[in-house]
Structure 1
Amino acid sequence: MNTINQTDIIVVGAGIVGMAHALAAAKRGYKVTVFERNSYAVGASIRNFGMIWPIGQPQSKLRQRALKSREIWKQVAPKAGFHLNQCGSLHLAYREDELAVLQEFVKSEKDNSDVALLSPSEVTAKSHALKSDGLLGGLWSATEMIVDPREAVKKLPSLLNREYGIEFHFSTVVTNIEYSNLIAAGEKWKANKHIFVCSGADFETLYPDVYQKSNITKVKLQMMRTIPQPDNFRIGTSLCGGLTLTHYSAFNDCPSLPALKDRISIETPHFPEWGIHVMVSQNSAGELIIGDSHEHGLNPEPFDKAEINQYILDYLKTFVRVPSLEIAETWHGVYAKLPGKTEFIAHPESGVTIVNALSGAGMTLSFGLAEEVVTNLQESMNLVAVG
């Protein structure tokens, strides 16, 4: 370890959070090096719907962060060569309490031309995959997009290397950081400007004492993928049932939400017990991605529960009608979450920033968050230089 490799910015982790920070730094002229312990990112970044989902974020800096991320996704997708579907989304109401929440939400978004409350006929015109019986209406939002996360996360490193000179070291484990030095696969590296640690759910390895004091936890979700839909059937847009209104913070201020939650807890207590809400997206291959559930704890159970998947499928069938629900694949993902927060940012030592716990919204928020974090870092470094 006599030779010291040097770079400006080091990023630990090549999931979507790590790559977003690498991109934000490289766009500002820094030489960036990324280390990933696996041959490619295999964590939460590839185990999700692929939804870029601004509608789930409240009207605040979080919505703006999501919209900024959306713009960056639109920029990188054609360059990297992965499919991006600007399909929008529908939240559906089959019960009066669900419709009440949607009405209240749309009223609160009166200045947002991207959302609208649709009649049943207008809803079914958006998607031929919906059951019209009992449908009361739906919330249309134009801002949501879909990528296949497995494809996107594998193709982004090539783009970032080609366009921005970002150097990736896969199958390379970072075992020690003492700024400005870092040990990766037994080799010594020096970061002349900064180190970002974006290790996702694998947060026990680096700065474990920081995480231990943070109250961070993990969330396990179960998901499924169907075979490609026959005859090129497309659902048209991403679809959500009324359960989803209880999941995203964008709906938290709707006065009718507590009554909706109470009704769900009484009628179907297994939904809140397992943190189930039901959404479906469709990738470019025609496969439906269906989920999900949420189990909290630092040591998630490695064994998936068949009854959870069945609960999800049974609920999906109450509002979706598609040619095939034959399941080709099931899996679970695990992401880091800091209760009550939308992200965890810490500075365990000078020159090092931890960015983690985007709470299941990494595809939606990472690019926008990275722009904020790196801009703030650049401003602070400039102030230091001037001083």
Structure 2
Amino acid sequence: MSNKTAIVIGAGIVGLATARALAIRGHKVTVFERNERAVGASIRNFGMVWPIGQPNGPLFDRAMLSRSIWKEIAVEAGIWHDEVGSLHMAYHEDELRVMEEYEEINRSLRDCSLLTPEQTLAKSEAVNPDGLKGALWSGTEMIVEARAAIGQIAQYLTGKYAVEFHWNTAITEISDTTVRSGTRTWSADEIFVCGGEEFETLYPELFAATPITKCKLQMMRMIAQPEDWRIGPSLCGSLSLVHYPGFKVAPSLEALRQRYEVEYAEYLKWGIHVMAAQNHTGELTIGDSHEYGLVHDPFNKDFINKMILSYLGTFTRLKDTQIIQTWNGILPKLTNGQTELVLQPADGVTIINGLGGNGMTLSFGLCEQLIEARHGKIA
């Protein structure tokens, strides 16, 4: 049992993943969150754990490690989760070709298969059958209700590992391995800065010198489907093929992208690709778009939501499409092509940031790997 201590700043998914990796190795962990609960990007998302989006190799392996940790925690903590998998639908031959190539390359590496229209409709009654040519099935994707799960993980870490949370406590200064909030101070052997706002405010010069921007996502929630109707797997249109790097292995992807650049130019301009995931109450989370910049208009653009819903209608047939909520989330996004930022601005201080839209999928795996590299495997 270790007698080491650690402070984690930020109670979003990266902070929770860091706290877990430290706590299971016996560290006494204290987490500081500036709000009374996590309200940032970690709860403003699909709740998708999404290995299919990652390329083969270390990132896919990390995603699968994250998935296993998510499942372990969800089972132990009684957190709702659904291992539904995913379907990407094809309505044109070039979309189907990309899926065929992806499946041929990955069939021995991942749980995936190419489905006929009949097989696709057997997986989900919510798929639009008109003009359907087939679909790519993947069995690795899992859904959680992020709005509830993030808070439940914090409770789980407190109950099982005695992780101490200080809510409504904004850290305003780090000196050596001591943190300050107003007149109060706390010290530990290590400090991990896992909140985006804290990175920007505690280390402004470093933030300014980092190749990082912010991504605004617009999302919506549809009313619970009637009579407990379920859509089954998470559903994706083929625009997702040109969004996720996992599909770059397909040789014909570039030709598909070129068609989309003509036919879906406005969609690509606003970074729109469309997915639908269903939570335990039957509600559907729909999205999303991607706008980049260090400062964003706080107001959602109605035309973007209309574009998302219009494209959603090309590949789904839902029972009730009433929108009950709209929102946006702001994510850190590295501009140099890297998938995460890990910096050590001072002895004993580590910044973990920049996961972009991969936070739910990669955080648990990334932080487990980082902490294992420093403190070893679990005995």
Aligned to 2:122: 125
Residue 226 of structure 1 aligns with an amino acid whose one-letter code is M
**Offset of residue 260 of structure 1:** 1.1
SS at match of 1:79: helix
SS at match of 2:344: strand
Aligned to 1:279: 275
Aligned to 1:225: 221
Give the distance between the partners of 1:210 and 1:378, measured in 2 at CA.
26
8 Å contact from structure 1 (residues 13, 199) kept in 2: yes
SS at match of 1:345: strand
Task: Encode CA deviations 1:117-138: one digit per residue, 9 max, x unaligned.
Answer: 1111111110000111111111
Give the distance between the partners of 1:129 and 1:108, measured in 2 at CA.
28
**Offset of residue 197 of structure 1:** 0.4
**Offset of residue 113 of structure 1:** 5.0
- Equivalences for 1:40-79 in 2 at 5 Å? 40-79=37-76
TM-score (norm 1): 0.94
Give the distance between the partners of 2:43 and 2:201, measured in 1 at CA.
21
Of 298, 308, 311, the match for 1:302:
298
**Offset of residue 100 of structure 1:** 1.0
8 Å contact from structure 2 (residues 158, 164) kept in 1: yes
Give the distance between the partners of 2:141 and 2:182, measured in 1 at CA.
40
Residue 327 of structure 1 aligns with an amino acid whose one-letter code is I
Residue 347 of structure 2 aligns with an amino acid whose one-letter code is S
Give the distance between the partners of 2:270 and 2:167, measured in 1 at CA.
35
SS at match of 1:318: helix
8 Å contact from structure 1 (residues 201, 334) kept in 2: no
**Correspondence 1:97 to 2:94:** yes
Of 174, 178, 181, the match for 1:181:
178
**Offset of residue 85 of structure 1:** 0.3
TM-score (norm 2): 0.96
**Correspondence 1:38 to 2:35:** yes
Give the distance between the partners of 2:277 and 2:182, measured in 1 at CA.
39
Aligned to 2:257: 261
**Correspondence 1:195 to 2:191:** yes
- Equivalences for 1:1-387 in 2 at 5 Å? 8-192=5-189, 194-200=190-196, 203-339=199-335, 340-378=337-375
Is the alpha carbon distance of 1:58 and 1:256 closer, same or farther for their aligned partners in structure 2, counting shifts above 3 Å? same
C-alpha RMSD of matched pairs (Å): 1.4
**Offset of residue 235 of structure 1:** 0.2
Give the distance between the partners of 2:234 and 2:357, measured in 1 at CA.
17
Count of aligned pairs between the two proteins:
374
Give the distance between the partners of 1:211 and 1:304, measured in 2 at CA.
26
Gaps of 5+ in 2: none
Moved >4 Å (runs of 4+): none
8 Å contact from structure 2 (residues 333, 354) kept in 1: yes
SS at match of 1:217: strand
**Offset of residue 302 of structure 1:** 1.0
8 Å contact from structure 2 (residues 199, 351) kept in 1: no
8 Å contact from structure 2 (residues 4, 26) kept in 1: no
**Offset of residue 376 of structure 1:** 1.6
Task: Encode CA deviations 1:323-382: one digit per residue, 9 max, x unaligned.
Answer: 111000000000001120101111111111100011111110010001111112225xxx
Is the alpha carbon distance of 1:202 and 1:278 closer, same or farther for their aligned partners in structure 2, counting shifts above 3 Å? farther
Give the distance between the partners of 1:117 and 1:23, measured in 2 at CA.
37
Give the distance between the partners of 1:8 and 1:185, measured in 2 at CA.
22
Task: Encode CA deviations 1:37-57: one digit per residue, 9 max, x unaligned.
Answer: 000111110000000001110
